[in-house]
Structure 1
Amino acid sequence: MTDFRLERWDERAPELQRRANTPEMQAFLAGVEPEEALTSRHRRILDGMREGDTEMFLIVVDEAGAVGSVGYWEKEWRGETVYELGWKVLPEFQGRGLAGRALTRTLAHAAARGRIRWGHAFPRTDNVASNGLCRRTGFELLGEVDFEFPKGNPLRCNDWRFDLAGAGEK
């Protein structure tokens, strides 16, 4: 197992986003994005962190720097405010348990805030790795839903829900 730490999203993040903006990494999303989309997302994340409705972390491995990201942000979903969770790990660092351990820490972080009861993840139905991660991390599968990411790009996703009540910081 590879040792890592979570560090708050900062000016190292755009380089990570560029490294992850490949056909392989974007296969379950909208494909490779233009630089403007990466820049805009970075600004939205920083703004959300300042406003307190977003928490994003870099997954940092000593010898390699930022090798992934994980985080959560507020979203209105079916009449209530929930946290939506998202993550990515660069291909050369996949299969080392980083995503699962980083997601577990991030869920504990969200739970410790004590503000929102439910965390949701929406991996595409055919994304075996992310759906497996949700299952292993303790999410409950609620079913399939239609989703858009980015806006205007329809996706068929699974709606996974995690009960943050009592999960606490670990």
Structure 2
Amino acid sequence: MAQVRIAPWHEDDLDLLRELNSPDTRKHTGGPETDEQVLARHDRYVHFAGTGQGAMFTLVLPDGARAGSVGYWGRDWRDQPVYELGWAVLPTYRGQGLATVAVRAVIDVLRARQDRRYAHAYPSVDNPASNAVCRKAGFSLLGETDFEYPPGQLMRANDWQLDLTAPPTGS
């Protein structure tokens, strides 16, 4: 299994966010943002954990390299409070199972919170890698849905759900 740990998003992670803002990495999520949008996103990520409504993390390799991001935030979905998860991995590190390990680590954080029953992820139906992460991390596919992301733009996504009260699945 891939070796990666998650670390809370830090002020020093702006360069990572700029790297993740590439056309390739953002092709399923509305395309690259302006530098002003990236700076605003970074500020939100740095201060997010202090709000109690979610947290962003970096994917840290054993040598200290930053390979991507993963996070969770609360939302209402179909009249129910849930957690939404999202992640991105730099092209150099894709295909190594890092996102799956990182998503499982976030699921452990959410299970420990014991405040919402379900976690969801909404990858584009055209994003086989992120859909595979959902499957490998133990989510169940509920079906396709129209999902607004980025704000103001509808995308066709798969609705994946994980019951946080159920025992963790194996690898």
> Shared fold (TM-score greater than 0.5)?
yes
Q: TM-score, normalised by structure 1?
A: 0.92
1:75 CA displacement: 0.6
Residues 132 and 2 of structure 1: is their aligned pair in 2 closer, same or farther, counting only changes over 3 Å?
Answer: closer
Percent identity of the aligned residues?
A: 42
In structure 1, the residue corresponding to 2:24 is in which secondary structure?
Answer: coil
For 2:111 and 2:48, the matched residues in 1 are separated by 18
**What does residue 12 of structure 2 align with?**
12
What's the RMSD between the two structures over aligned residues? 1.5
2:46 matched to 1:46? yes
Q: 8 Å contact 1:111–1:166 — kept in the other structure?
A: no
In structure 1, the residue corresponding to 2:92 is in which secondary structure?
Answer: helix
1:44 CA displacement: 2.4
For 2:20 and 2:36, the matched residues in 1 are separated by 15
Q: Residue deviations 1:74-110, cap 9 Å, x none? A: 0111111100000111110111111111111110111
**What does residue 163 of structure 2 align with?**
163
1:56 CA displacement: 1.4
In structure 1, the residue corresponding to 2:57 is in which secondary structure?
Answer: strand
Q: 8 Å contact 2:111–2:164 — kept in the other structure?
A: yes
Q: Please, which runs of 5 or more residues in structure 1 have no aligned partner?
A: none
Matched to 2:95, the amino acid is G
Aligned residues: 168
For 1:71 and 1:128, the matched residues in 2 are separated by 19
**What does residue 59 of structure 1 align with?**
59
Q: Please, which runs of 5 or more residues in structure 2 have no aligned partner?
A: none
For 2:19 and 2:134, the matched residues in 1 are separated by 24
Map residues 7-156 of structure 1 onto 2, 5 A cutoff: 7-63=7-63, 65-156=65-156
In structure 1, the residue corresponding to 2:104 is in which secondary structure?
Answer: helix
Q: Which moved more, 1:133-142 or 1:45-54?
A: 45-54
1:131 CA displacement: 0.7
Q: Which moved more, 1:154-163 or 1:47-56?
A: 47-56
For 2:167 and 2:43, the matched residues in 1 are separated by 30
Residues 46 and 76 of structure 1: is their aligned pair in 2 closer, same or farther, counting only changes over 3 Å?
Answer: farther
Q: Residue deviations 1:16-51, cap 9 Å, x none? A: 110111111111111111011112222223343111
In structure 1, the residue corresponding to 2:63 is in which secondary structure?
Answer: coil
Moved over 3 A (4+): none
Q: TM-score, normalised by structure 2?
A: 0.92
Matched to 1:110, the amino acid is L
